[in-house]
Amino acid sequence: MSTEALVQFLDVQKIYPNGTAALAGVSFSIRAGEIHAICGENGAGKSTLMKILFGLEQPSAGVLRIGGKEASLRSTRDAAMAGIGMVHQHFSLVPSLTVAENISLGFEPTVGGVFFNRRAAHAFAEDLSVRYRLQIDPRATAASLSIAMKQKAEILKALARNVRLLILDEPTAVLTPAEAGELFDHLRQLKAAGVTILFISHKLKEVRAIADHITVLRAGKVSGSAPLCSLADAEVTRLAMGKLVPSVSRHADRAIGAAALQVEAVSRAARRSASRITDITLAVAQGEIVGVAGVDGAGQEGLVEVLTGDAVPDKGRVLLGGEQIGGLPKARLRALGVSHLPADRYKTGGASALSLTENAMALARRSPRLSIGQYLKSKACEVLAREMIEAYDVRCTSPRQPLGSLSGGNAQKLIAAREFSVKPRLLIAEEPTRGIDVLAASTIHGRMVDLARSGTAVLLFTSDLDELLTLSDRIVVMHDGRIVAQFISSPDLTTEEIGRAMLGLETSHA
Amino acid sequence: MSFASHIPGIVGVVNAMLRVATPILLAGLGALLSERAGVINLGLEGMMLSSALAGVVVSAYTGSALLGLLGAMTVGALLGAVLHGAVHILNTDLILSGVALNLAASAGTVMCLYWLTGEKGISSSLSSKVLPTIAIPLVRDIPLIGPVLSGRNVMTYVAFFAVPAVSMMMANTTFGLRLRAAGQDPASTAIAGVRVARIRLAALVLSGMFAGMAGAYLSMGYVSWFGANMSGGRGFIAIAAEVMGGGTAYGTGVAALVLGGAEALAVTVQSYGAPSELIQAVPYIVPVVALALYARQRQRRTAAQ
Amino acid sequence: MRKALYKRGARLCLILLVIAVVLWPVVASLDDPRGAFFTFVLGPFNDMRHFGNVLEATIPLLFTGLAVVIMFKAGAFNLGAEGAFFLGGVVATAVLLKLPLAGPLLPVVAIVAGGVIGASVCVVPAWLKASVGASELVCSLMLNYAALFIGLYIVNYHLRDPNAGAMLSYRIPLDGKLPRILAGTRVHLGLVIGLLGCALGAVYLYKTRWGYESRLVGSNPLFARHVGVRTVLVGLIAPCVGGFIAAAGGAVEIEGMYSRFSWTDLPGLGWNGLVVAILANNNPAFVPVAAVFLAYLEVGGDLLAQNFAVPAEVVGVIKALIILFSTMSIAVGNPRIKQLLVRVMPGARKLNTEVEP
């Protein structure tokens, strides 16, 4: 490992046209041949940094040097030419194309310059697969691959273009702890083969396991950059978090009441494996927060679909307060007091083009406060929106502005405000704080706990194990469409135990 | 034998089917290329119409049917580029831009015709050329199918060969691979370093070229003049054919033949006394019915899995 | 608020620019360019008759414009207003000729009948989309033509007056006609009905719960479902209402302006409705203004064609360009264009509505 800098950021800034400063002057170096980690909370600027390196965005100011020379990366092609490859968090594989076709896309081997030389493409993919010891079938279509296999294909795709620098964006977000270990082995092999690796993550434990050097970002600036061995965990956390964020935790004195939600032996066969569930039995009491853990596609989506009226169970019953709700349409579920915080906030949780008021009033539109029969009281609607904005600290200029103009965190707060303020009997929350800044996440956590305290039963689906541990009274782990483990939350419970259950290795019922 | 006496009638119907299907198939291939690239081309109607005029004008002034055809294809290709430019550079809405193109073509062709010839509505004063029919010497003597296979308009043969050509292009060339990738997942394709905008431009230009061929056939083969709004909704029927064809070249070909056949049969029925207006409605009702059946099939197939 | 006005002003300037750009070469090639230009721009106002023409032309646009707005706002990309308008006119003529009813009730029944049956051109594609998932857009486009030919069949085989020359129906009974309301012109009661319709439309969309739910579906159908709106129902109701309004517009047009049914082709008023809807920014409250503006352009074009050697189709090209440029979003788009604009208009920086990443 040499000390020569492969990539240098010199006071790089990125200010978006609406005034947000994603990067406020970042300076650090990545040495050739090292595994360099970039850490920081959501919103600190990690994604923006990476987009600049990969040619997806251009800096507003500052200099980027690659291999000693000033570089201006205006497209992903430029980045590829500069030897930079990236493994995306949500993958960049075209579903209907085979692995070999995906790998070759953009610089395909040809016959006579026009016809696609499939055989050569397959051979190339096989060759890569052997060379980097990443087993994969080049003929498989991308859509048919499992998540871990997709990631391998992504890595091969990046490596195929003779990379000097490989960027990995939150690669372990979708992997079980064991699969993550396998990934780290591959990364070490790559390092031995001379590839420099940039590893972006907010999980400190993993960073410790793999990285040589760490750069911590906070609020768009570098708050520290040093070899990892010289920093203690507490030090890194301090660099990443800055001030102390009010932590929210369950309180033992929260009263847990009668059973609210009862899921009894519910099964549903579906074409998508992520929607398949088998023999699910669980109960959530009033005032209780039950967290559901599992890798991507372990069946959480299927359970959510059944509970929110998107799908009808083939077997079993779903009861809310003793009443059958399985198979009821969404409108009925809403009327019965079921709220849902969806995973994809802009796709399902709100209408970006409509105003904050129009988004906020959606659930309360039939209430006498907002309407008399068909007639809507516009003023009352706006007042309601203002109340929600106030209570949830949504940063905005006016309730008339479109939802799409808010930042992710503020939009999520408004959506949460809408779903929580109808005082539901049951709240189904999916990934409530994914991709939003720490303060907004803290606000939402606080309100969720308040909601539970006032008697709502909460079923929390999240891939953030820390969030799960902090908020849940009980934790249920799903694997392959079934519930394989249950844990009572206690200070001794670790993410490792949960991780093993997520893999299906441990089945314990507390 | 009574069957033999029906043969000339059947041959006539089949020939009518091929005649009707030709422009729909050509335009349908254009719809296919753009749709698979992720840019639905609703302006096919306007492109066909403009190309029909271009074919008549160019062939009249140059005296050559071939140049007329080339002129038509060029106009179509240019309009495809314009559509792309509007959507990509000016960021207009793709569907409404197609609608705008159709309206502009409908009005613009009448205006151009007026300027060039002083006529409003029909190009009778222009001595435009006609695309030839081709008689294949040995084939035409084959009993039964000879009169069908030989003696068709050159564009019908072009359409026939275009189907496997387009199919092969989509499956086996790098351009086809990139086009399919760009249509299915433009984000990933762009990340791979492919210029998605360029692919879409090429797709729309090719789409326009096929529309140009269809338009040239309309005004230089089907009939030999240009009349206002002579495309008569065929651009939309071509889109329906492409949907029915499941997004494949061969499928589109079959769909075009089916639609052509329906219209040919309807015209035959007309000679038995059915009202001509209702017969004229058939080419527009059949695609709707066919689309509905196709959609229901697809729905059933997805539900069963 | 200021940003919205700025945007609207920019759009208006763009439209005026489009008109100028199209007119210029047309007018310049004539013997009397100034005369032609002023005929187009001022002709519609220079006397009562021409001004009446503008108002007459506005009436059907109120109906088709409103119809398109209601369908588009609900997210139904249905272009069947054209065929609905035509069929509505045919059915109204048939009712007026065949129904043995006298008095003021006759035109009303004809309008309602025309509206209900003509709406099928919009409803059938919507129903096909809801039940089997067929493309509402493509089906509605084709049913326009089907409606044309079926309508022509009805007129030619059942309503034609053999003594009246080609393709004309019998005379419509005087009872069935809508009264004129402006002396010296042919402006009829349809104007009032249309304006009322637009007012009701605005109230419906922005002040009622159903209208709000309709807009939710139009803005994000998944979100609408999420909050418990029955999206399938909305997707069906909007084309029903829109189709009815467009078809009623056809009926009103026949009753107000014609003594016999004489259309031999689709009158193009459905497409004009689309232009009106775009100009009105899909808001029923602005439809009357947009309709008057488009009617003014049409009458200007007609006057130009009557008095100079210019085909009236020039307005068609203008309309097409209006549609094109009106859907242009300057804000989110090509960064090079944006940079160019910012240099020319420093205020353009504020036009940006880019979402923070």
Nearest alpha carbon to residue A70 among A137, A12, A144: A12
A267 has a chain C CB within 8 A of its CB: no
Residues A390 and A273 in one domain: yes
Residue A99 lies inside a defined structural domain of this protein: no
- Does A123 reside within a domain? no
CB atoms within 10 A of CB B30: 33
Distances (CA, A) of C298 to A209, A449, C28, C305, C314: 74, 63, 20, 10, 9
CB pairs below 8 Å between B and C: how many? 145
Q: If you average pLDDT over each of A35-44, A353-362, C347-356, which comes out highest?
A: A353-362
CA distances from A249 to B260, C125, C221 (A): 70, 54, 36
How many angstroms separate the CA atoms of C267 and C323, rounded?
19
Measured between alpha carbons, how far is C246 from C118 in angstroms, rounded to an integer?
8
C8 pLDDT exceeds 80?
no
- Which of A329, A363, A378 shows the shortest C-beta gap to C227? A363
Distance from CA of C226 to the nearest CA of A (A): 7
- Is residue C65 within 8 Å of C291, Cβ to Cβ? yes
Output the pLDDT for position A505.
65
Q: What is the mean pLDDT of residues A79-85?
A: 87
- Cβ B177–A97 below 8 Å, yes or no? yes
In this structure, is residue A132 part of a structural domain? Answer: no
Structural domain including B179 reads 2-304
Please report residues of C whose CB lies closer than 8 A to that of A406. 356
| Angstroms from C222 CA to nearest CA on chain A | 5
Q: Is C5 within a domain?
A: no
CB contact under 8 A, A271 and B190: no
Q: Which residues of C touch A329 (CB under 8 A)?
A: 230
Residues 50 through 109 of chain B touching chain C, CB cutoff 8 Å: 86, 88-93, 95-97, 99-104, 106-108
3-state SS, residue C150: helix
CA A336 – CA C223 distance, rounded (Å) = 19
For A51, which residue in chain C has the nearest alpha carbon? C357
Which of C24, C8, C62, C282 has its CA nearest to residue C193? C62
A189 lies within 8 A of chain B by CB: no
- The torsion angle over the Cα atoms of residues A469, A471, A476 and A479, rounded to 10 degrees, is -60
Instruction: Return the structure tokens found at B35.
Output: 């749709």
Q: How many domains does chain B have?
A: 1
**E strands along chain B, which residues?**
133-134, 152-153
Six token digits for residue A464: 């953030």
**Host domain of residue C80:** 49-311
Task: Kindly list the distances between the CA atom of residue B214 and the CA atoms of B23, B27, B106, B159, in Å, as whole numbers in the listed order.
Answer: 4, 6, 16, 9
Say how far apart CA C84 and CA C119 lie, in whole Å.
6
How are beta strands A84-87 and A165-169 bridged, if at all? Answer: parallel
Q: Is residue A121 part of a domain?
A: no
Largest CA distance in chain C: 71
**Contact at 8 Å (CB) between B132 and B138?**
no
Percentage of residues of chain B with pLDDT beyond 90: 62
Nearest 5°: the CA angle B215, B221, B223 is 90
- Asked whether residue A110 is assigned to any structural domain, the reply reads no
Question: Does residue C298 lie in a domain region?
Answer: yes
pLDDT-derived band at C286, boundaries 50, 70, 90: very high
Residue C2 touches partner A, C-beta closer than 8 Å: no
* Residue A510 neighbours by CB distance under 10 Å: 11
Share of chain C above pLDDT 90, in %: 55
Residue C24 banded pLDDT, cuts 50, 70, 90:
confident
Q: What is the mean pLDDT of residues C151-178?
A: 84
| C356–A407 C-beta distance less than 8 A | yes
Contact C207 A351 (CB under 8 A): no
We report the CATH number of the domain holding residue C243 as: 1.10.3470
Give me the pLDDT at residue C350, please.
Answer: 42
Sign of CA dihedral A129, A134, A135, A139: negative
Residues A200 and A333 in one domain: no
Handedness of CA C195, C198, C200, C202 (dihedral sign): negative
Residues A298, A392: one domain? Answer: yes
What pLDDT is attached to residue A435? 75
DSSP structure class, residue C160: B
How far apart are alpha carbons A7 and A29 in whole angstroms?
Answer: 6
**Contact (CB, 8 A) for A196 and A83:** no
pLDDT category, C330, cuts 50, 70, 90?
low
> What pLDDT shows up at residue B285?
94
pLDDT above 70 for C356: no
Query: Measured between CB atoms, which of B175, B193, B302 is closest to A76?
Result: B193
Cβ burial of A390 (10 Å; 0-12, 13-18, 19+) is exposed
d(CA C175, CA C172): 8
DSSP per-residue letters across A363-415: GTTTSTTTEETTEE-HHHHHHHHHHHHHHTT---S-TTSBGGGS-HHHHHHHH
Query: What CATH number is attached to the domain comprising A15?
Result: 3.40.50.300
List of long-range contacts for C328-334, beta carbons under 8 Å, 24+ apart: C328/B90, C328/B91, C328/B92, C328/C14, C329/B91, C329/B92, C330/B91, C330/C10, C332/B91, C333/B89, C333/B90, C333/B91, C334/B88, C334/B89, C334/B90, C334/B91
Phi, psi of C2 (to 5 degrees): -65, -35
Q: Which of A196, A215, A241 is the last residue of a domain?
A: A241
Among A199-203, B68-72, B289-293, where is mean pLDDT lowest?
A199-203
pLDDT band at A510 (very low <50, low <70, confident <90, very high): very low
C269-279 and C314-326 helices, crossing angle to 10°: 40
Beta bridge partners of A65: A8, A70
Return the bridge partners of A15, or none. A21
* Contact status of A194 with chain C (Cβ, < 8 Å): no
* Distance in angstroms (rounded) separating the CA atoms of residues A135 and B70: 52
Phi, psi dihedral angles at C216 (to 5 degrees): -60, -45
A134-139 long-range contacts, Cβ below 8 Å, gap at least 24?
A: A134/A186, A136/A99, A137/A99, A138/A98, A138/A99, A138/A100, A138/A103, A139/A98, A139/A99, A139/A100
Report yes or no: A88 at the B interface, CB cutoff 8 Å. yes
Q: How far is C20 from chain A (nearest CA, A)?
A: 33
In a domain, C74, yes or no: yes
Residue A408 has pLDDT above 90, yes or no: no
The verdict on A311 and A346 lying in the same domain is: yes
Tokens 């989309």 map to which residue?
A: C129
Exposed/middle/buried for residue C7 (C-beta within 10 Å: 0-12, 13-18, 19+): middle
Q: Would C344 be classed as within a structural domain?
A: no
Query: Domains in chain C: how many in total?
Result: 1
C110 and C99 Cβ atoms separated by less than 8 Å: yes
User: Which residue carries 């066909």 as its tokens?
Assistant: B48
**Quick check: A495 pLDDT over 80?**
no
Per-residue pLDDT, averaged over A259-271, amounts to 89
Tell me which chains share at least 3 CB pairs under 8 Å with chain A. B, C
Inside any domain, residue A173: yes
A367 belongs to a structural domain = yes
**What pLDDT does C74 receive?**
94
Q: Note whether A445 contacts C: Cβ–Cβ < 8 A.
A: no
Angle C34-C25-C337 from CA coordinates, rounded to 5°: 120
CB–CB of C113/C92 below 8 Å?
yes
In this complex, which of C219, C226, C354 lies closest to A342 when CB atoms are compared? C226
Which of A294-308, A369-383, C19-33 has the highest average model confidence (pLDDT)?
A: A369-383
Specify whether A431 is located in the same domain as A369. Answer: yes
Cα(A381)–Cα(C262) distance, rounded to whole angstroms?
A: 50
**Residue C352 — very low, low, confident or very high, per pLDDT cuts 50/70/90?**
very low
Q: Taking the mean position of all CA atoms in its chain, how far away is CA A163?
A: 27
Mutate: best of A354, A358, A415, partner C, most C CBs <10 A? A354
Residue A17 touches partner C, C-beta closer than 8 Å: yes
Distance CA C335, CA C351 (A): 13
Bridge partners of C180, per DSSP, are: C188
The position carrying tokens 């010296």 is C184
Give the residue among C122, C252, C120, C142 at the shortest CA–CA distance from C197.
C252
Residue A112 in any domain: the answer is no
Where is mean pLDDT largest: A225-229, A495-499, C23-27?
A225-229
**Average pLDDT score over residue span A249-259:** 66
- Where residue B37 sits, what CATH number does that domain have? 1.10.3470
Of B43-57, C35-49, C188-202, give the lowest mean pLDDT range: C35-49
CA distances from B26 to B40, B206, B299, C304 (A): 16, 11, 28, 39
Q: Which of B68, C4, C356 is nearest to A15 (CA)?
A: C356
- Of B193 and C132, more confident: C132
**Exposure of C193 in the CB half-sphere (CA atoms within 13 A):** 27
- B neighbour chains, 3+ CB pairs within 8 Å: A, C
Angle of helix B154-172 relative to helix B249-270, nearest 10 degrees, comes to 150
What are the backbone angles phi and psi of residue B226, rounded to the nearest 5°?
A: -105, 135
Same domain, residue pair A234 and A270: no
Tens digit of each residue's pLDDT (9 = 90 or more) over C101-141: 888 889 999 999 999 999 999 999 999 999 999 999 999 99
Q: What average pLDDT is seen over chain C?
A: 86
Q: What is the pLDDT of residues C55-88, one digit of tens each?
A: 999 999 999 999 999 999 999 999 999 999 999 9
Give yes or no for residue B78 having a pLDDT over 50: yes
In this structure, the answer to whether residues A336 and A484 fall within a common structural domain is yes
Contact between chains at A48 and C357 (C-beta distance less than 8 A): yes
What sign results for the dihedral spanned by CA atoms A469, A481, A349, A451?
negative
Retrieve residue C225's tokens: 């479902």
- Res C166 pLDDT > 80: no
Residues spanned by the domain of A381: 259-503
Is C259 inside a domain boundary?
yes
Q: Residue A1 above 60 pLDDT?
A: no
**In the predicted model, is pLDDT for residue B50 greater than 70?**
yes
Identify the residue whose tokens are 């030619």: C156
What ipTM does this complex have?
0.88
B90·C325 Cβ contact <8 A: yes
Q: How confident is the model at residue C11 (pLDDT cuts 50, 70, 90)?
A: confident
Kindly tell me if the per-residue pLDDT of B273 is higher than 60: yes
CB of C216 within 8 Å of any CB in chain A?
yes
Residue A242 has pLDDT above 70, yes or no: no
